[in-house]
Every structure is written in C-alpha cells, then in structure tokens.
Structure 1
Amino acid sequence: QETTIDTLNQTVQEQQESINQLNEKIDAITKILEELTNKETTLTIDEIEDARASTPITISGKLVDRAGKLIPDQTITLTVNGEDKTVTTANGKFEYTATFTTGEQTVTANYAGTANYDASNATITFNVEKADCVVTIDEITPVKFGENVTIIGTFMNVNGKAIANSNVKVQINGQVYYAKTNSKGIWTLSAKVTKAGENTVTAAYGGSANYNSYSTDATFTADKQDLDITVDDVSFTENNFTLSGVFKDKTGKVVKNTKVRVYVNGKNEYVMSDDSGKFTYSTAVTKNTVTYYVAYGGSASYNAFTGAKTTISA
C-alpha cells in the first residue's frame, strides 16, 4: 500500500511538472501572438470645423497601436493641397498648419510602417468657406476745398493678417477711386476735394473667391478755400478808367465765369471772369483821381475776398 501511495505521488509530481511546462509554452506563444498582433496601427485625423479660406487651419491626429497606446516618434506623410508634407508624432500625436482655398478639400495621412509596426492611413474631407475681411479708414485730416485730401486705411483678414496687393474701392461723395494695398495691407489715396463742408468717404472690398465683401464709411470736413483776385493792369487817361485782372483761388485754380465786384470812386459794378479767370472793367471818370479795389462776396466753396484800395491820378 505504501508503494502504491509513493507511486501515485510521483505520478502527480510528474504531471504537475508537465503542466508547468505547458503553461510556460502557452505564455511564450501568447507573447509571440501579442507581439504579432500588436504590430497593427490605427492612424486618425481629427475633425476640422469652421474652416475659412486663407486662414491658417490646423490638421491634427494621432497614431496608436492595437491596444490604443500612442506610438511616439513616427513619421507621417500628409498630402495637403496636392503636396506631400512630413510630420513627426510627438508623444503619438501630430499637427500641421496650412491654408486652403474655398470649396471641398481633402487631406490624406499615411504611415509607412516599420519593422515593429504595420502601415496605416487616414483621409478627411472638409468644406472651406470664404473668410471675412475688414477694411478700415484712418482719421482724415481736414483740408480746404480744391486741395488734395489724403485718405489712409488698412485691408486685413479677421485675424489681422495683411491682404497685400489688392484693390480697395474708395468713393468720395460718390466719385469712385481705387487704391492698392502694400505688403502690410495699407492703402493710400490722394484726391482733390470738390466740395466744401462735410464729405463722405466709403471704402469697400467687393469680395473674391476667398473673401466676403466688406464696406465702411467715414467723413471729413473741407473748409472753404481762400481767394487771390489780382489786378494786373490799370489804365487811367482822358476821363476813362480801365482795369484787368485774374480771378484765382489760393491753389492757383482759375475761378471762371464768376462775377467780380469792382469798386471805383465809391461806385460798384460786377464784371464776369472768362474761361481763363480773366476779367476786364472799364468806366468813364470825371475826377482827376481814382480809388479802386476788387472784391468777392463768397460762396459755398470760397471765402469772401476784398482787395486793397489803390488810388491813382490821371
């Protein structure tokens, strides 16, 4: 009986050893299978929302193994706008920033794999809308009627990036001009003021494939212009007095077809300037002396003017 028990114990011990050996083999096989199956990878690209043209858009995503663990320091090839760009997975994640035109856009990410990891890829399609822009007008320095006013402003996208080499439509009291932006998005327009008083300026961009339209308004005041009425030639002989002159404003512009008031010995009459701004006045005089001067009463565009009195003898 004792022999039988010893034999059974020995048999149990031998079977236990066999079981242990089998478990070791199973563990080894399991490890190999895990290593084989863990080579599988998944590459994903995050959803892109509110994409706007000509505005930086961040493309982001991640690379994980079969267990969902992030895989760091791997090279991902992105196809963006038809060009291949390479990024590295920092801690298993990647980012790349690009700008796009309007419409449906597609970005493809490709992981070529290594000896330890299988290849994988991902594709995302998203829609890019037109971007908003902003046109500004700086404060305008007042000028006088007939002088040049300088209007300066900017043309930017909503993120403050300059929109260079683009035309801004500028209207001054409805008169249309165009000003091109420089590399900093600054535009400048110089134009002659054709109206005294309040002037309205509108600066606008009509929109494009990438940008929505935008318009803004401003006003500036133009003061009345000063005048310079000169008497260039005077003749006083045998009871006849004649003078001639030119009607101009301070900018040198002739004031044509406008009445000039001529005072001679207390008597005043009007004479009309011609297309060149010239005028001539002649009258009979009974005295031996003549005191004369010229004047203008003013208008919506011009200040009043009174010339110096001059006295001459025959």
Structure 2
Amino acid sequence: MKKISLGKLDVSRIGLGCMSMSGVYTGGGTDDAESIRTIHRALDLGVTFIDTAEVYGPYKNEELVGRALAGRRDQVVLATKFGYLSHGSDGQYIRQFDSSPANIRICVEGSLKRLRTDHIDLYYQHRMDPRTPVEDVVGTMSDLVTEGKIRHIGLSESSPEAIRRAQAVHPITALQSEYSLWSREPEAEILPLLRELGIGFVAYSPLGRGFLTGTIRSTGTMDSDDFRAKNPRFTGDNFKKNLGIVDEVGSIARDVGATPAQVAIAWLLAQGNDIAPIPGTKRVSRLEENAAADGLTLTAEQLSRLSEISPAAGDRYTDMQHLTA
C-alpha cells in the first residue's frame, strides 16, 4: 500500500472506516469476530489508517478497535473523534454538540481507555459546536498535543472560515468530510483552501454510502432501520437519477476489469496525493476489494469521463451543517 502525507502525518493512502462494524447507520446485525478479522487483514495489506469515533455505538466501536489492535498498536495511525456527545459529571451523556474544553478532556480520557492506548494519532472535532469558539476548541487540543495524549489535530465538516481560524491557533493536520463521485462539494472551496494551508483531506463515504458499488439497485433491499432508507439520495426520483452515476462507473469498471468500488476509489486517489479515502466495511472480502484500488490506474480519458458525471441528485443528510463557531 502506498503512503501519502496529511500535513506532516504519513498514512496509508487508503484507510479503513470502522463505523459500520458497530451497526451504525447501515442497519443489520454486528459480527465482532468478522470485524476484528477485517481490521487484522487491513493491517496485513498495509491499510494502516484506522478511523473510529466515540459516538459510534456510542463507545462500542472504539472498544472493538481497541481489542482488535491489541499487540499491533504500533502498526497503525489511529484516528478518533469527539464532539457529538456531551458528558455529565455522573458519567452519563446526552447527544448534542459539545466541544467545550471540559467536555474535550472527558472525551479524550474515555477514548484513550477504550482504545487501549496512551495516545491518539489524529484527534478530530467531529462537528463544529456553535456554543464554543473554534479557537477554544483547538487551544484545548493543542494542550493535549503538548501533554502527549494526541499527536495531530483534525476537523470534520468545517467551514472555510472555521478552518482558517483553527489553523491560526495550531497547525491542523487533516479535515475529514464527505467526498466521492456523488458528493463533489469540497472541490469548490475546501480543497483549494486546504492546499493553501498545507492541510490534508480525509474522504469519508468515498463509495457514496455503498451506492457507487453498484450493488444497490432498489431501496427495497434495505433494512427498515437502515439510515439510507430515508436519505434523500436514496429515495424517489433522486434514486432513479443517481443510478445513472452507477451505470457510468460500472461501464468504466468493465473496461478496466475492476469493480465499480475500485474505480470510484481510484478516481478519488487520482484527485491528489493529499487525499486519503477511508471506505468503511465490516467484511474481509470488501476490505480486500477496496484495498486493491491502490493498484488501479485509470487513463486520463477515463478520469475525465468520471469527473464529468453530474453530482448526485438530492441533499446529503441534515446534520452536516457547515457551522461556524
């Protein structure tokens, strides 16, 4: 697996998003044994950039990742996130944005314990907190760097203004946001700004929440508790229009003898050596398929055809607001 640099942090250029291993958003059951095998296989293949968050579960995903990395912690760049849960003094939490300095302190100690580690390589603010200025957030994270509890600071789904303000306090290593052939929003402002500031980009949902794999041809196949069943891009006329994206990706996949997922990831990799997609899966077979995109090179004509595809019809899900705090 080739490596790239996010700021001053070297990572495998394809990572592994672990969220779905804990039953988050996709519905269906969990299989911890298969998930742990998937993480172990990822490390064997050189996919050593591992992504989780305290809110996945909550807590269950970090605990799972911590178990999987026992004895292999030094082989990975480990990323997790805070800011979706507000913790009380009684040990309970409520689901709301909270990046107050006191809450960050509680979050990082919990994540370190669950992940069974003494440091987090890349620590993200999961979403902006409108009640806490980003300068206070990054200031607290900077203190955690000094204390050795985290190594690098990240943001997720942040506005250009917030990114500039954060960077003025402490160097930001990476921004994580949705980016794929059906979510092209970062191209207008975010990517140019990140490159100006020397910040890397981590692309989550690089397969359009599974849509770009070509395996979803009907919403009727989804579980009732699957987040996507109510996502605007998976419903009504939007779903029908978006199948056109899948068909074009599938056409190129047939031309190059690859899978649609591999083509979608290879397109993202071709957008720059400062972009690391983190496709999520809980199965070894899918992990192996995604990792093989590292060896796929698309021609200039194929990349152009893909780039000319119109972005997906329908909004992204509603909690992704570019909040400025």
- Which has more radius of gyration? 1
- Greater fraction of residues in strand: 1
Task: Name the TM-score, length of structure 2 as normaliser.
Answer: 0.19
- Greater fraction of residues in helix: 2
Task: Name the TM-score, length of structure 1 as normaliser.
Answer: 0.19
